[in-house]
Chain A
Amino acid sequence: MTDVAERVKSIASDVFGVPAHKIFPDSSPQTLERWDSTQHLTFVLALEETFQLQLSPEETERIRTVGDAVRLVEEKIQVTGE
Chain B
Amino acid sequence: MPIAIESYREEHQNAVRAFNQRLRAGTAEPDLVFYERCRPAWLPKLDGSPLYNEYFVAQENGAVHGAYALKYEQFFSPEHGEFAVACYHHPLSEGVIDRNYFSVGGLLLRDAVRREPRLYALGMGGYDHSLPKMLKAMGWELRSVPFYFHIVHPYRFLRQMMVLRITFLQRWMMNLAAFSGTGWAALAAWQKIKRLRVGRPLGALEAVEVEEFADWADSLWLEAKHAYHLASVRDRQTLARLYPPSQKHLTKLCVYQQGRPIGWAVIGERRKDPKYGSLRVGSIVDCWAHPANATPIIYCATLKLEANGMNLIVSNQSHEQWRRALEECGFFTAKSNFVFATSKQFSALLQKGDFGQFHVNRANGDGLPANF
Binding site for B on A (CB under 8 A): 29-30, 35-38, 40-42, 44-45, 57-58, 60-63
Contact = CB atoms under 8 A, between A and B. Distances in A.
A60 B103 contact: yes
Contacts of A62: 2
B18 interface: no
Interface stretch (B34-42, B107-115, B142-150, B245-253): B107-115
B114 to A, nearest CB: 9
Given A29-B99, A44-B106, A62-B2, A37 B130 contact: yes
Interface of B, helix, strand, loop or mixed by DSSP: helix
30 contacts: A29-B99, A30-B99, A35-B102, A36-B99, A36-B102, A36-B130, A37-B93, A37-B95, A37-B104, A37-B106, A37-B130, A38-B130, A38-B133, A38-B134, A38-B137, A40-B102, A41-B105, A41-B106, A41-B109, A57-B3, A57-B4, A57-B107, A57-B111, A58-B2, A60-B106, A60-B107, A61-B2, A61-B3, A62-B2, A63-B103
Interface string B90-134: 000101000100111111011100000000000000000010011
Contact of A37 (B2, B103, B138): B103
B106 A40 contact: yes
Contacts of B265: none
Interface in B60-113: 93, 95, 99, 102-107, 109-111
A40 B130 CA distance: 12
B23 interface: no
B5 interface: yes
Which 4 A-B pairs rank lowest in CB-CB distance, beginning with the nearest?
Answer: A41-B106, A37-B105, A37-B95, A42-B137
A15 to B, nearest CB: 10
A76 B190 CA distance: 65
B59 to A, nearest CB: 12
Interface string B23-34: 000000000000
A41 B134 contact: yes
Nearest to B129: A38
Contacts of B133: 38
A58 to B, nearest CB: 5
Contacts of B99: 29-30, 36
A45 B113 CA distance: 14
A48 B160 CA distance: 51
Given A37-B130, A38-B106, A38-B130, 5 more contacts: A38-B137, A41-B138, A61-B3, A61-B107, A63-B103
